[in-house]
Structure 1
Amino acid sequence: MLGTLNLSFYIILGILTILLSSFVAFTFSRYHELRQHPSGLLVSLSICEVIMAYHSIIFALDSSRYIKWIKIEQTFDLLGLDSLNSAGFLCGINQILLSASTIACICYNIAICLDLIITLYNPLIPGSVRKKWYHGLTASSVIYFTVYANYENKFIYACTSNRWNRLEIMNSGSVNILLLVYLTIGMTSIIYSACRFANGLKLDSHANKYYLIRHVLYVMIFTLCWTGPAVSYLMRKYGKDDAIGSEVVDSIAIATTSASGFFLGILRLSDPVVWSRVKRLTSFDSSMEKISEDAWTQPVSVIVQGKLNCELTRCIFEGIHSAFIQMKESKQEEDSYFATKKYSTKEIKKIKRDTEAMNVWGVRDSKLNGMILDVYASDIFTNIVNITGFSLDDLIESLNPDNNQNNEVNQSAGKSGSFFLFTRDKKFAIKTIKKKEKQIMMKFLRAYHQHLSEYPKSLLCKIFGIYTLKIPGVTAIYIMLMQNLLYMIKPNSIYDIKGSTKGRTAKKNGVFTSPLKDLDFIANQEHLLLTLDDIDVFKNQLLADVKLLRMNRLMDYSMLIATSDGYENAEKPQHSIYSLNREKVYTMGIIDFLTEYGYMKSIEKNFSTLRYGRLSKGASVANPSRYSGRFVNFILSVVIPIVRRNSSYIIED
């Protein structure tokens, strides 16, 4: 058994950690804005702290006595296990859960520090993508280090806590390896952010300074709390375990690790915004003033969602705008658009910016007086602009940075988490894409260009450029310029239709978000009423477009459908059709077609089949042939009902 002092530390501080971390997890789960990335990581972290503290208390109390006290071993009599074996088995489970929760706590703290670095390096990396990586890496670390630690621990079935297994959580040094990683990343996040701000990164928000101070405190508290186990481990490893101070070190280590969740919980709740939500949560007064948005609402993103994103978007507009001006000034070769080399060209354009503009990124270097824009297949995309009825003058005017100051950056609600930026006149949209999507588009460009040349009124979303933007101090950003399908209309409803019925609804927690999806279209009993001539034209174009996508092994695309009462001016936008009674206008276009059916999609399809069985036919992922057939069938049987639902609609080659 542990000494009375150590046992008191374990129990009292462990109980305080359980209570406070549970309250933190509940508070953050209660409010949607606190669940968003990256503050949503604190929910997982707090739950891990509760598990760690609970199993630490069990271990300290002597697992065998605790098991007998709650009589849990009696339930194993039904399995034919005697009390000794069942107690040993339960002790082993406790040791494993204690190790796993401890490792998870450290990993989530590493993720919080790493996210600050990533955010300052590129604020347009989607939070949904980061969150998946953080959870995945944490799970992998937990599995590896837990198995490693418990394999090395010869006392995994030992139920009695004593001097030699007092700090089982740090055995074999596995936890200390993660602590060293945390210390490295935590200090790097502090130094990197401090250097960025000291070297010119200026953001107009008091919350920025306030958050950075809080982040420094967070790293310092966590580091101090976990220094004890590391020192204890090193003393034992190098044969100084019998030294006079070893007992004192062990007591400190037990106290600080047991209290780490408690101290960090106080820091989390002390934030004014979180505290205002706590007061609202514990108050029955519904007349309380609206909660402000600041600090821990999005603890890292708050630093960049304001001024930094505005500066980044200005860089994007300046880069593309300058590129089109240079294209207009350069003389193009006539009748050369279909030359093979034109589809793979890359022009490197240097865009100059004044010193003050560059300093906003926290990069002060006399040699860095601008940014670099890689422009791909400019002649081909210029021709696509002309095909669709626009001109370079239209693009130059819409993309003028002076006309697009302080534009909002909107994040996609889809899986990609891409960011959208619209020109102030709403004619064009700029979307951040992945490197893989850029590669797919360049591979698809020849077929896409030739298809638009043959079908100028194609339903496919019109893409006017692919670029890689390189700004000093920020990672490379891949962007795509395209037509805004909803230009000149005020939609009453917007649908994103994939032809899939598995989970395809925009209803979450009883609330609908935009755009609506396939199941919502069916539930609302929507259908588009068109003249026979319009139906014939639409059907033929739909089949031609989908055939092109299928031939190029593309899938996961959507039909964007918007209904409105009319146009904002006399000019009729592309992709729009009057309803049969001419009281409504339907705007339609095929979007998000840059997903190739490769190995990963094949694996996802097989997993969907194993998970849902026959129901997997309605899942979103499918091979290009099946996806295209299901997509067309849904459009022509539900959206524009001219064929029987689920009929075997064959798209001829």
Structure 2
Amino acid sequence: MEGHKIKTKSKFKVRHQKHKLFRANEPLLSVLMWGVNFTIHELDNVNIPVMLLPEHFKAYVKIRIDNQNFNKEVMPSHFKVKEYCPLVFRAFREYWKVHDSSFRDSLTEPPIPLNEPTKSNLALYQSYDRRFVLKCIAKEDVEQIHKFLPEYHRYIVETQGDTLLPHYYALYRLTVDDKENYVLVMRNVLSTKYKIHYKYDVKGSTVDRSATEKEKLNTCPTLKDNDFLEGKRAIDLGIEQKRIFMERLKRDVNFLVGLHKMDYSLLIGIHDLDQGGVERDQNVSTGDFNTSDLSGNESSDGSESPTQVGDDYSSDEPFMMRSSDTSSRRELYSLGLIDILTYYGMKKKSAHVAKTKLSGSDADGISTVKPEIYARRFLDFIDKHFI
């Protein structure tokens, strides 16, 4: 194999500034765009294996840029980029029909910051076309991903990608101003085309599971379990769709239990067909989006919702389902599992004891419980409120 080689161990290489510049408001995002372009290009020179081997789950590619002549308003003059397990994540992208050129095009335009802070207040972005979520994660999460990745790969192959688990597409370490930043790229669960009118993050627990007053001021706040219950919400899939959905969800949850995972959520995005609205960023030209509804009728101003939804949206919106034909509501649902990396170890066991004492309740209400209990309560909540 000629050209660059992906190694499990490698020395830093010094590269000079290339002609193409990546402009973003934050140095981290400029480096991310540069890094995605570089690592995708490197894969052009690698023979893609028919079968992944154990060493592919340990491999990485990394590079150091050291150029005093960089325009610092565009790009830092010193930075490092490391991509973890490039062939493994490429296999995932291929499995879900996200080709390298498409992936690069989505991530070499400035990502959009999301207003919703993560638990640890780490930054969260989405690609400019909303296809991907870019989540800054802790170093401990990177370790969890490495442990998790071989089993996750096996599961994706066994289920032929028919899963509500996050679709992971890439993992990077970006060193900017001597600070290491870890960025996980995954598919956006929420619809990239249709406006989300209501959004819920549900765990099946009730203690501290209400959206803050500050969160509720957002245009489309992320509501939680208590808000879902107080609003007397129900997700109306109909008997057959619900059966298929619950079978898939139970299979995924059992997989997570086997890996001692807990504290995950079901993200629910609801598009009300009667309210309408096509989601579009003001910085993206309307020509980049298909404003036809799925029945083949073009909307005059891009603001109309589809009047019909068939199977033709499934590849572009893999987490989407439609409300039952007999439902009083005409809705599209975006449904997917998120935040699945939390391992129930000593730290979480201690948190369980502390929360139980603090709340004065048993395990029925708090979110930090044993994986088996968490899974049972989570599935019971979903089964009760999906009809």
> TM-score normalized by structure 1?
0.47
Aligned to 1:530: 237
Task: Give 2:298's aligned residue.
Answer: none
Inter-CA distance 342–509: structure 2 relative to 1 (3 Å threshold): closer
Instruction: Choose the corresponding residue for 1:340, options 17, 39, 54.
Output: 54
1:481 is aligned, of 185, 199, 215, to 185
Q: 2:363–2:369: 8 Å Cα contact kept in structure 1?
A: no
8 Å CA contact 1:412, 1:418 repeated in 2? no
Rounded Cα–Cα distance in structure 1 between residues aligned with 2:239 and 2:257? 27
Does the 8 Å CA contact 1:325/1:396 hold for their aligned counterparts?
no
What residue number does 2:228 align with?
521
Q: Of residues 315, 319, 327 in structure 1, which corresponds to 2:43?
A: 327
Asked if the contact 2:268/2:336 (under 8 Å) is kept, the reply is yes
Partner of 1:434: 138
- In 1, Cα distance between the equivalents of 2:54 and 2:196? 41
> Which amino acid in 2 is paired with 1:580?
S
The one-letter amino acid paired with 2:351 is E
Where 1:315 maps in the other structure, the secondary structure is helix
Residues in 1 aligned to 2:154 and 2:272: alpha-carbon distance in whole angstroms: 34
**Given the alignment, which residue of 379, 386, 402 partners 2:94?**
386
For 2:82 and 2:224, locate their aligned partners in 1 and report how far apart those are by CA, in whole Å.
36
Q: Using a 3 Å threshold, how does the CA distance of structure 1 residues 470 and 617 change in structure 2: closer, same or farther? A: same
Is contact 1:411–1:417 with CA below 8 Å preserved after alignment? no
8 Å contact from structure 2 (residues 262, 340) kept in 1: yes
Question: Which one-letter code corresponds to 2:165 in the other structure?
Answer: L
Structure 2 counterpart of 1:504: 209
Identity percentage of aligned residues: 24
Q: Distance in 2 between matches of 1:527 and 1:502?
A: 21
What do the CA deviations read for 1:391-410 (whole angstroms, capped 9, x no partner)?
A: 1121011112xx32xx4433
Instruction: Quickly say closer, same or farther: Cα 1:531–1:360, change in 2 above 3 A.
Output: closer
Instruction: Go from structure 1 to structure 2 and tell me whether the alpha carbon gap of 1:470 and 1:576 turns closer, same or farther (over 3 Å shift).
Output: same
| SS state at 1:563 partner | strand
Secondary structure at the residue paired with 2:184? strand
Contact 2:28 2:174 survives alignment (8 Å): no
* Whole-angstrom distance in 2 between the partners of 1:360 and 1:586: 39
Q: 1:314 to 1:525 in 2, by over 3 A?
A: same
Match of 2:306 in 1: none
Q: For 1:507 and 1:370, how far apart are their aligned partners in 2?
A: 40
The answer to whether the 8 Å contact 2:112/2:127 transfers is no
Q: Distance in 1 between matches of 2:258 and 2:48?
A: 31
| Matching residue within 309, 323, 335 for 1:579 | 323
Write out per-residue CA displacement over residues 300-342 of structure 1, whole angstroms, 9 at most, x where no aligned residue: xxxxxxx995232111121122211221342212x222x1111
5 Å-filtered alignment, 1:339-418, equals 339-350=53-64, 355-358=69-72, 370-400=78-108, 403-404=109-110, 407-410=111-114, 412-418=116-122
* Residue 174 of structure 2: aligned partner: 469
The residue number in structure 2 matching 1:47 is none
Which residue is 2:158 aligned to? Answer: 454
C-alpha distance in 2, partners of 1:327/1:575? 28
1:565-606 alpha-carbon deviations (Å, 9 max, x no partner)? 359554511111110028211110000111111111111101
Deviations 1:610-647 (A, max 9, x none): 22233442011111111111111111112x14xxxxxx
Aligned length: 321
Q: Distance in 1 between matches of 2:188 and 2:215?
A: 30
- The CA deviation string for residues 38-72 of structure 1, in whole angstroms up to 9 with x for no partner, is xxxxxxxxxxxxxxxxxxxxxxxxxxxxxxxxxxx
Assess if the C-alpha contact under 8 Å between 1:319 and 1:351 holds in 2. Answer: no
Q: Distance in 1 between matches of 2:70 and 2:64?
A: 17
Aligned partners of 1:375 and 1:466 also within 8 Å: yes
Q: Is the 8 A contact 2:117 2:123 kept in 1?
A: no
Q: 1:197-346 counterparts in 2 under 5 A? A: 309-333=25-49, 335-337=50-52, 339-346=53-60
1:596 match: 343
**Match of residue 123 from structure 1:** none
CA distance in 2, matches of 1:616, 1:524: 24
Check conservation: 1:557, 1:595, Cα contact below 8 A: yes
Q: Shift of residue 359 of structure 1? A: 7.0
The partner residue of 1:539 within 246, 264, 284 is: 246
Is 2:332 the counterpart of 1:614? no
Residue matched to 2:377: 630
Contact 1:421–1:430 (CA<8 Å) still a contact in 2?
yes
Secondary structure at the aligned position of 1:596 is classed as coil
Distance 1:425 1:322 in 2: 20
Task: Name structure 2 gaps, 5 residues minimum.
Answer: 1-22, 279-289, 295-311
Distance in 1, matches of 2:264 and 2:378, equals 9
Structure 1: 5+ residue runs without aligned partners?
1-306, 364-368, 642-653
Q: State which structure, 1 or 2, has the greater radius of gyration over its C-alpha atoms.
A: 1
- What does the per-residue CA deviation read over 1:70-98, in whole Å, with 9 as the maximum and x for residues that have no partner? xxxxxxxxxxxxxxxxxxxxxxxxxxxxx
1:443 pairs with 2:187: no
Change (3 A) 1:603 1:423: same
Whole-Å separation in 1 of the counterparts to 2:363 and 2:238: 35
- Give the counterpart letter for 2:164 in structure 1: L
> TM-score normalised to the size of structure 2?
0.77
Q: Kindly state the Cα deviation for residue 461 of structure 1 after the two structures are TM-superposed.
A: 1.2
Asked if 1 retains the 8 angstrom alpha-carbon contact of 2:118 and 2:124, the reply is: no
Residue aligned with 1:482, SS: strand
**How far did 1:358 drift?**
4.2
For residues 536 and 510 of structure 1, the distance between their equivalents in structure 2, rounded to whole angstroms, comes to 33
Residue 523 of structure 1: CA displacement? 0.8
1: CA distance, partners of 2:338 / 2:154: 18
2:57 aligned partner, one-letter code:
Y
Residue 227 of structure 1 is matched in structure 2 by: none
Moved more, 570-579 or 515-524: 570-579
SS of the residue corresponding to residue 79 of structure 2 reads strand
Contact 1:506 1:512 in 2 (8 A): no
Q: 1:515: Cα distance to partner?
A: 0.2
CA contact (8 A) 1:608 1:616 kept: no
- Contact 1:459–1:589 (CA under 8 A) maintained in structure 2: yes
